[in-house]
Amino acid sequence: MTSRIAVGAALGAALFVVGAALADDTPKLTELSPNGADACFGRVYDAAHLKAHPKQKVARIFFYYGHDPVSRPNEEPSTFGGAAYDGFLTTTVRGTKKPEWAAGWCNRQSEDGKSGPIHCGMECDRTLASLKVDDKGRLIVSNVQPDVYLDAGAEEELGTAQYNKQALGSEDDNFRLDPMPAATCKAEFARIDPIDPALGAPLRERLKPDQAFCYGRDYDAAHLKSHPDQVTQSIRVFRGPVELASYASGGDVANWPDGADIAVSVTTRLKSGKVTQTYSCRGEADQWRCAASSKMSDFACDVSQKEIFLKRGANGTMMLANPNSALAIVDLCSKAADGKTKSDDKVYRLNPMPQSACAP
């Protein structure tokens, strides 16, 4: 199935901010959460129930009302972290281990927002679910659409057979869920995309706006012999006095790491001496997206479309991706830099090093 993410990257930063404000102004649904805290409802169906309902695919279902239980620590500025959604649905169908999930806005269907049935809508004027609390405090989740996890128009795109395979079943509706601790729902949503504890904190938390750093790797003869298509002998990624001064004069700490300059020095088999290139970075999802900059040198072309990507690696390392010939192992304005990286210099696993290892 194709699950829906809480906020698509294409929506842009402005929607994050506006959506957060709207969520704060929305009247709270007190029957879901009498004390205003996040609320969790769920049910796990036993084998007897599933045997008696062969057209029900859902074996586990949880509904969470409140703050986003899905988001993971990422590299985007914290000012863009608020999401407009306050209703989150996750289900696991029989025969699978990984849950699917979707999110939406839950409000009363009335002009004043204080009366009427509760409707949870999604983007593109779609329905997540209708909600009602019974006299025993259980949550009735109804009007769940078979294609709740699929893109609009999926039936036409996939064809009937594949659509029926991926969509929910004809008995997957009118779920009666029991109140549960919020931690139970958080644990269920955590099954969607388990965090690798070895990755540690995001780079934007690990590396501070006023902090110099140095990561790098030197490849020995044995490695280069086993990778004959790798051009790089040595590589360094760093922020030093020049980059720190640039950010101090014009950077916005609240939006860190957006606008942060980094430098990348490479030494190759092809020529003696190292070449250093500056890049300007911004946080995007789980990576820093860094575009080549002409701040420190002149170019005969526009190099801003040349991008590298930084990610946190396991156990304190940093991953650098160079998918489209954006490192100075080639002339960035030459034909050799057109298209995808042709050599075996696409991904680097870099280790933290003393700042002196990145000195000019």
Q: Which residue's structure tokens are 């279902």?
A: 61
pLDDT at 336: 77
Handedness of CA 123, 129, 130, 135 (dihedral sign): negative
Whole-model pTM: value is 0.63
**pLDDT mean values, one per 10 residues, the chain (360 residues):** 36 31 56 92 97 96 93 71 76 94 89 80 91 95 94 85 93 96 94 85 94 97 94 96 94 94 93 86 92 75 88 95 89 81 92 94
Can you read off the two tokens belonging to residue 276?
């250093």
- The DSSP string of 156-177 is HHH-HHHHHHHSPPTT--SEEE
Handedness of CA 165, 171, 174, 176 (dihedral sign): negative
Handedness of CA 44, 47, 49, 54 (dihedral sign): positive
Can you read off the two tokens belonging to residue 170?
């004809």
pLDDT at 79: 53
Specify the DSSP class assigned to residue 190. Answer: H
- Looking from the CA of 65 toward its CB, the CA atoms found within 13 Å total 29
pLDDT digits (tens, 9 = 90+) for 125-168: 899 999 999 999 999 999 999 999 998 788 888 899 999 999 99
Residues with Cβ within 8 Å of residue 254, at least 6 apart in sequence: 77, 78, 79
Encode 191-210: b = buried (16+ Cβ within 10 Å), e = exposed.
ebeeeeeebbebbbeebebe
Long-range interactions of 109-112: CB distance < 8 A, separation 24+: none
Residue pair 277/292 in contact by the 8 Å Cβ criterion: yes
CB atoms within 10 A of CB 161: 8
Nearest Cα residue to 83 out of 26, 149, 130:
26
Helix, strand, coil distribution of the chain in percent, nearest 5: 25, 30, 45
Q: How far apart are CA 145 and CA 168, in angstroms?
A: 8
The domains of the chain are located at 9-195, 203-358
Nearest Cα residue to 250 out of 284, 295, 191:
295
Instruction: Collapse the DSSP code of 136 into the 3-class scheme (helix H, G, I; strand E, B; otherwise coil) and give the result.
Output: coil
Instruction: Collapse the DSSP code of 9 into the 3-class scheme (helix H, G, I; strand E, B; otherwise coil) and give the result.
Output: helix
Q: How far apart are CA 76 and CA 284, in angstroms?
A: 5
pLDDT at 241: 95
CB atoms within 10 A of CB 159: 11
pLDDT at 360: 76
